[in-house]
Amino acid sequence: MRGDRLKKVREERGYTQEKLAEFLNIGQLQIWRYENGETEPKADTLAKIASFLNVSADYLLGLSDTPGGFFQTDFTMKERKILSALRQGEPMEAIKVIVDDE
Reported as a single tens digit per residue, the pLDDT across 42-95 is 999 999 999 899 899 999 999 988 887 555 566 777 887 888 888 888 999 999
The topology (CATH level 3) of 3-71 is: 434 Repressor (Amino-terminal Domain) (1.10.260)
Instruction: Give the angle subtended at the CA of 6 by the CAs of 95 and 24, to the nearest 5°.
Output: 60
Q: What is the pTM of this model?
A: 0.68
The mean per-residue pLDDT over the stretch 1-28 comes to: 96
Instruction: Report pLDDT for 101.
Output: 62
String of b and e for 53-70 (b: at least 16 CB within 10 Å)? bbbbbebbeeebeebeee
- Write out the residue limits of the CATH 1.10.260.40 domain(s) in the chain: 3-71
Whole-angstrom distance, CA of residue 69 vs CA of residue 5:
14
Looking at residue 72, its pLDDT comes to: 53
The answer to whether residue 38 scores a pLDDT higher than 80 is yes
**What is the pLDDT at residue 83?**
84
